Amino acid sequence: MPLLLPRVVAPGTARVRLHEAPAPPGDWAVAGAFRYAHRDPASLVGREAVAFSSSWLGIASFAPALRVEVAEIAPAALEEAARLLAARILGAWQDATPEQAVEAAREECEFALALCAHPAGTILEIRREFGEQGLVERASVVSGPPARAP
């Protein structure tokens, strides 16, 4: 069974303005809720509130993305993505140890793999909110994979 991970797709010109520097198409992505897990919901305003409620996190760019596609990834590429994400986590949160960053990156990648329980080419969006039990995330299908030619 192939490994499937979210990969950023272009959101369309109407919505790309929601983020100052969106993740580029082709960037592998994770849900990225760890960015908000310890935040006060009231502190999220403007573009940051939009990014919180509706964006994935590009791994290489460490930037928000509104839509992703389910895409096949080779095991070696998945390991490289997890290493890159760990490095990004260390750069963003100086109080994290290398071990904590590696563990967080692996958990994020595993969660992203679980969200990709759809055929390759399926387009997904994510919705996130703070609920009674903390952070709640839901990925939803925007469109199925492209039809294959007969």
Does the residue 148 lie in any domain? no
DSSP state of 146: P
Reduced to 3 states (helix: H, G, I; strand: E, B; else coil), residue 22 is coil
pLDDT digits (tens, 9 = 90+) for 24-38: 999 999 998 888 877
Does the residue 102 lie in any domain? yes
Mean pLDDT for each 10-residue chunk of the chain (150 residues)?
A: 92 53 93 82 83 91 92 97 95 88 95 95 92 85 73
Host domain of residue 27? 4-143
Does the residue 150 lie in any domain? no
At 16 the pLDDT is 44
Does the residue 38 lie in any domain? yes
pTM recorded for the entire structure: 0.87
The total of structural domains in the chain comes to: 1
What gap in Å lies between CA 4 and CA 41, rounded to an integer? 31
Residues 126/131/134/139 CA torsion (nearest 10 deg): -20
pLDDT digits (tens, 9 = 90+) for 60-70: 999 989 999 99
